[in-house]
């Protein structure tokens, strides 16, 4: 009797399960995936945050250019408030688990970056590997842009920032965790890539540098590339080393950069940059036949590269920005007290920069 009762209860439970799913149980199709977020500064004084969400509309068929999405935005006094209000605008629950892209506009991120990204750090469903960027002219314009090759909404930006799918040296990748570390840490400054929507795609080739907690300035495209190479990312491309009348392109195979803060006694401190580049020639205006010619070009090209790198570092130094973390290297040598931090701030703008490039041309490329 007891047994029969138990079996009956079990059957009843199973049956109820099938018809009463409950509210904690939310299927994947009952969630709205936020694939990208944009934070703009609004003109409204009381509600300064203009938050835009890019919501993916999933479809069983996936074809290029057919990525369906929905854009909603809301102004509020804070980001969480905006998200809360926006929930009333959609039919399903937001899921930030796949929000891999957060775009700010220049005005929002100019000051108080730590406070702005606080919400993203505290939400457990927003991943630490979320990419950050600055949208121009505004974050919403970036989210609104429809990319021709995009198969899934928001995927084009993620793929662009992923170093395994896009190795362009002009794209600098900034992730949430890394950005937060740079904001909090003395002796290293954050940076954010600038995303500009163009027709059917995005243009990501510049980077904005921060110094002393504020957004300083943008680097140009070529400066961005050199900074990217100095940061020893896996992104590499060709280097155009014009020498004399000859346009020489070197396809970089391997690039190692060693940066050191040198503090010789009784001398002016300087930054020592050592670049080790290995590559093949990809284009040359002149005929390259002998090893001697190659050696000559190696020398000339090396000098050209050194000069360029020095110029870029000078520009960055002038901004007093420190994306390379030179201040941390100084701290590693001298200690990390408040006094040392102050010392560094005094020393850094006047430091010499010495760049040495070892260019090794491994071959002239495939010739038939």
Partner 1 sequence: MEELQKEINCVKEKYDNNPDFKVHRFEYFEKKIALIYMKSLCNEAQIKKDIIEPLLLCEKQGKYLLHLLSMPSCQHINASDDVEKLLLQGNALIALSGEIYSVDVRKPTNDQPLDATVEQTVQGAQKGLSEDLTMNMTLVRNRYPSKQLKIEQQTVGTLSKTRIAILYDVDYVQEDVLDEVKKKISGLKADIIQAAGQLHNYMTKEKYRIFPTMMITERPDRLALNLSQGKVVILMNGTPFGLVAPAVFFDFLSSMDDKTLPYWVTRLLILLRYVGLLITIILPSLYIAITSYNPEIVRSQLALTIAGSRAGVPYPSFFEVLFMMFAVELLVESSLRLPKTIGPTATTVGGLILGQAAQQAQLVSSIMIIITAFVAISNFTIPINAMSFAVRCARYPLIVFASFFGIVGVVAGLILLLCHLSDLRSFGKPYLKMYWGTTDKMSKVRESRKE
Q: Site residues (CB under 8 A) for partner 1?
A: 17-18, 21, 25-29, 31, 33, 35, 56, 58-62, 95, 97-98, 100, 125, 127, 151-155, 158
List, in sequence order, the alpha helices (H) in the chain.
Answer: 2-19, 79-86, 106-110, 113-116, 118-122, 139-144, 155-161, 176-184, 221-230, 291-319, 326-334, 338-347
Least CB distance from residue 68 to partner 1, whole Å?
10
Distance CA(12)–CA(32), nearest Å, equals: 33
Strand partners for 166: none
Least CB distance from residue 55 to partner 1, whole Å?
11
The residue (of 83 and 261) whose beta carbon lies closer to partner 1 is 83
By the 8 A CB rule, do 275 and 357 touch?
A: yes
CA dihedral 59, 64, 66, 69 (to 10 degrees): 80
Least CB distance from residue 50 to partner 1, whole Å?
25
The residue (of 4 and 20) whose beta carbon lies closer to partner 1 is 20
Least CB distance from residue 60 to partner 1, whole Å?
4
The residue (of 17 and 242) whose beta carbon lies closer to partner 1 is 17
Least CB distance from residue 141 to partner 1, whole Å?
22
The residue (of 30 and 299) whose beta carbon lies closer to partner 1 is 30
By the 8 A CB rule, do 295 and 281 touch?
A: no
Strand partners for 281: 250
The residue (of 44 and 125) whose beta carbon lies closer to partner 1 is 125
The three-point CA angle 118-127-61 to 5° equals 130
The residue (of 94 and 249) whose beta carbon lies closer to partner 1 is 94
Least CB distance from residue 25 to partner 1, whole Å?
6
Distance CA(204)–CA(16), nearest Å, equals: 53
The residue (of 97 and 269) whose beta carbon lies closer to partner 1 is 97
Write down the residue that tokens 């250019």 correspond to. 65
Least CB distance from residue 88 to partner 1, whole Å?
22
Cα–Cα distance list, 14 to 6, 17, 18, 189 (Å): 12, 5, 7, 57
List, in sequence order, the alpha helices (H) in 145-220.
Answer: 155-161, 176-184
The residue (of 166 and 257) whose beta carbon lies closer to partner 1 is 166
Least CB distance from residue 151 to partner 1, whole Å?
8
How many residues can be counted in the chain?
Answer: 368
Cβ-proximal residues to 98 (8 Å cutoff; 6+ apart), any chain:
33, 34, 35, 56
């Amino acid at each position: 009797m007891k047994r029969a009762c138990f079996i009956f209860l079990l059957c009843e439970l199973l049956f109820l399960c099938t018809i009463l799913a409950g509210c904690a149980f939310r299927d994947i199709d009952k969630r709205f995936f936020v694939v990208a977020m944009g934070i703009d500064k609004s003109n409204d004084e009381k509600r300064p945050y203009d938050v835009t969400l890019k919501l993916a509309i999933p479809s069983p068929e996936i074809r290029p250019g057919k990525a369906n999405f929905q854009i909603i935005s809301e102004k509020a006094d804070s980001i969480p408030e905006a998200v809360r209000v926006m929930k009333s605008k959609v039919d399903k629950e937001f899921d930030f688990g796949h929000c891999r892209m957060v775009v700010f506009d220049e005005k929002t991120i100019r000051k108080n970056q730590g406070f702005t990204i606080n919400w993203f750090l505290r939400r457990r469903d927003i991943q630490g590997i979320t990419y950050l960027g600055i949208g121009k002219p505004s974050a919403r314009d970036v989210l609104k842009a429809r990319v021709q090759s995009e198969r899934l909404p928001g995927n084009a930006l993620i793929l662009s920032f992923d170093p395994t799918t896009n190795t362009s040296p002009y794209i600098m990748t900034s992730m949430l965790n890394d950005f937060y570390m740079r904001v909090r840490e003395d002796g290293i400054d954050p940076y954010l890539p600038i995303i500009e929507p163009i027709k059917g795609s995005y243009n990501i080739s510049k980077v904005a540098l921060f110094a002393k907690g504020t957004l300083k300035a943008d680097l140009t495209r070529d400066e961005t590339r050199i900074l990217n190479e100095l940061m020893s990312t896996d992104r590499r491309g060709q280097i155009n080393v014009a020498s004399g009348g000859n346009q020489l392109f070197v396809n970089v195979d391997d690039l190692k950069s060693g940066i050191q803060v040198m503090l010789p006694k009784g001398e002016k401190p300087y930054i020592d940059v050592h670049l080790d580049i290995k590559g093949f020639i990809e284009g040359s205006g002149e005929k390259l036949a002998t090893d001697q010619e190659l050696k000559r070009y190696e020398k000339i090209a090396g000098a050209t590269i050194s000069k360029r790198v020095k110029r870029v570092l000078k520009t960055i130094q002038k901004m007093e920005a420190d994306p390379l973390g030179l201040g941390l290297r100084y701290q590693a040598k001298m200690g990390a007290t408040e006094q040392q931090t102050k010392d560094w701030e005094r020393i850094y703008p006047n430091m010499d920069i010495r760049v040495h490039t070892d260019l090794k041309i491994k071959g002239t490329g495939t010739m038939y």
